Amino acid sequence: MTTSSGAPVRIDTSGNGILINWGEPGSTTAGMAEMLSTALTVSLQSGVPAYPLVEELLHLRFVPDGPTGDPLVPSAASVADHVARRLAFDRLGPAELQKLGLSGSDSAWPDAYASGSGT
């Protein structure tokens, strides 16, 4: 997934916090990404389970959307959807993934990016 300027969106949910790099430093987009990163990080560090966070962000649709360049989440409906899928992959078990509809025999993310563009 890339921004309108062609810069890639980078997401890391594997550590102790959530990091989202999106947009030019100082831009509204970068600020919103930092705000989401901070809110998710503080939530997880305060004991909020990952499942309800994933459930709320999953399938949100807005641009940029589409191919991500991320082998674990090949495509997503938005940056929020991409974050939710990475968070799910890194923090949820098989039963929770299945409950969210994120498990299948062909791909870890068979429902990702089912239609053209964000709304």
pLDDT for the residue 35:
95
Q: Where are the beta strands (DSSP E) in the chain?
A: 10-12, 19-21, 66-70, 73-76
The pLDDT confidence band at residue 3, using thresholds 50, 70 and 90, is low
68 in helix, strand or coil?
strand
Q: Report which of residues 14 and 88 the model is more confident about.
A: 88
Rounded to two decimals, what is the model's pTM? 0.79
Query: Which pLDDT does position 115 carry in this prediction?
Result: 43
Q: What would the pLDDT profile of 11-57 be if each residue is shown by its tens digit?
A: 888 778 899 998 889 999 999 999 999 999 999 999 999 999 999 99
Looking up tokens 């709320």 gives 56
**What pLDDT does residue 8 have?**
74
The per-residue pLDDT for range 98-115, each reduced to its tens digit, is 999 997 534 444 454 444
Alpha-carbon span 23 to 92, nearest angstrom: 28
**Among 102, 104, 53, residue whose Cα is nearest residue 80:** 53
